[in-house]
Structure 1
């Protein structure tokens, strides 16, 4: 099966893609294109999957670079291929031949580009990272490399949608303590449950950071098991583990 790669016209100057789970070598609960080295999938199978992604991105496997994601606001600048994966949740570069990648399974994968400056970025933004400023920090790091905020395009890929993201009141408190206006990203659910709009919040942070264009592809990871892995769906199904989707952008 060939890979399924979701793209955005807004990022068309760059090779990029939000890869679905279709077209991979993994089986069982990981069936498809599991690119998560932190999963309990067979490491050699994950390597095959990642090599397929690198080929699709037209880079060597070791030029598909990533980070050890920890739900932080830390951004690193990639200048060369490296086997080391620093603890961070976003990458930026102006080095041709590198493909920046992030892994997700409900969190937001966000790809950035300023075509005129030749600067790109990729961020993993769950609720904690987004609230702590990982998207803002990625834009700042791109500006440090010569990008201009108003020229930056940022696209949020497949992520969990509001209708599937049920949380408790203590979760909302994290946001209200930061800014009471963040209440607008929560809708009432059953009883004391609330529904959180993660991509809506991500778009807010991107626009507040001054990017020229921000959009969400409007794909929900939880609601489409044939195409996407989902941590929350796996938890509800009481499965032992889950795959990780990959998003990448290259110069």
Structure 2
């Protein structure tokens, strides 16, 4: 892997410390080679700690990085005055803060990372939107938590980072039917696949949920984790290749 940490940024979040990172610039080796930041990946804890340090320094030097124990839920927590240690991470899939010097981190390996900000209120958020969390309303809960800190949804801007693209994301009929049962208009996010299967556009679905929540503007970066093994980790790609483990990339946002 390259020595320099690759930081993908969103135009809508320009000026706010943030970044959607990939696997470039880390010290891990083997199947998880690169900037693996997954505490549950089975990688050497010392290497993970160094990767997380490098990631934080690339986005907001000197900040305190906090993350959650992700469980594909809609739950969101607030990082306030009392911050938790990595070993005590709360079970949730989104975080918000209005505290300068706090860096919110979300891990992904095909799921959609979402970073949000209300510049005027000085409030930011980060959400892990896999399909379960997305349909369960994790982004809606994140917006509500930001509002509890003084944000207003019409001022909030959001960006959807690297995730598995529709061309890479085959799902079965049961998956398809679950989304249509939630809202028939969700048919827009599926394309025909091989018999009995569909191709699901997770990125577009998450962006649409954000827009439907009344956010000011939403940006999708259009980066496919599955098809770029040199840049991103992918759970589905690792599974298809029969790899013993898979890495996790981190997406970060904070306030100066």
TM-score, normalisation: structure 2: 0.96
Q: Where do 1:17-96 residues align within 5 Å?
A: 17-60=19-62, 63-80=64-81, 81-83=83-85, 84-96=88-100
Counterpart-to-counterpart distance in 1, 2:167 and 2:144: 31
Residues 95, 126 of structure 2: 8 Å contact kept = yes
Counterpart-to-counterpart distance in 1, 2:152 and 2:48: 36
User: Following superposition, which runs of at least 4 residues in structure 1 exceed 3 angstroms of deviation?
Assistant: none
3-state SS of 1:229 partner: coil
1:124 aligned onto 2:128 = yes
**CA displacement 1:17-39 (0-9 Å, x = unmatched):** 00110000000001100000000
Counterpart-to-counterpart distance in 2, 1:145 and 1:207: 20
Partner of 1:156: 160
3-state SS of 2:143 partner: helix
Unaligned runs of 5+ in 1: none
**CA displacement 1:162-202 (0-9 Å, x = unmatched):** 00000100111211221122111111101111000101100
1:109 aligned onto 2:110 = no
3-state SS of 2:182 partner: coil
**CA displacement 1:204-251 (0-9 Å, x = unmatched):** 100011110101111000010000000000010011110000000010
3-state SS of 1:151 partner: coil
Counterpart-to-counterpart distance in 2, 1:169 and 1:176: 10
Residues 12, 157 of structure 2: 8 Å contact kept = yes
Counterpart-to-counterpart distance in 1, 2:240 and 2:11: 35
Counterpart-to-counterpart distance in 2, 1:17 and 1:248: 5
TM-score, normalisation: structure 1: 0.98
**CA displacement 1:73-124 (0-9 Å, x = unmatched):** 0000001432021000000010111000100000000000000100000000
* RMSD between aligned residues: 1.0
Residues 166, 195 of structure 1: 8 Å contact kept = yes
Q: Select 2:215's aligned residue among 211, 217, 239.
A: 211
Counterpart-to-counterpart distance in 2, 1:233 and 1:216: 22
Counterpart-to-counterpart distance in 2, 1:237 and 1:178: 33
